[in-house]
Amino acid sequence: MVQIERFVKISKYTIVFTVASLLLLNYWLLLLMNNLQGMIEAQQVLVLIPLTDVRLPAFVHLVFSMLLEIASFDYFETGELFEKVVDTKHSEPLD
């Protein structure tokens, strides 16, 4: 009987601990995502700078190209996938 009570008690604490940890983790992840989203939103504005009529040093362009990958969510190589899905043919550029 005592063993069963102890088992129930341990189970109860385990469940409470798990739920509390998950809630904390959820809150932390939400906070993390909000802050990172803010960072990406700022970077979406920053990546427009190379489009201005100013000659930036080459290494700044390199950094901007890396930023562009983060800001435009280019985390995976999707070119081939879309060529297969949309079945487009390359044409001459308009401009």
What residues line the site for other proteins (CB under 8 A)?
31-32, 34-46, 48-49, 51-57, 59-60, 63, 67, 72-79, 82, 85, 91, 94-95
Looking at beta carbons only, is 23 or 39 nearer to other proteins? 39
Identity of the residue, 15 or 39, whose beta carbon is nearer to other proteins in the bound complex: 39
CB atoms within 10 A of CB 71: 19
Cβ of residue 65: shortest distance to other proteins, in angstroms?
12
Of the candidates 82, 84, 53, 50, the one whose C-alpha atom is nearest the C-alpha of residue 65 is 50
For 56, the token pair is 């930036």
Q: Which is nearer to other proteins, 10 or 62 (CB)?
A: 62
Total Cβ atoms within 10 A of residue 86 = 7
Q: How far is the CB of 4 from other proteins (least distance, A)?
A: 36
Which of 14, 20, 21, 63 is CA-nearest to residue 43? 63
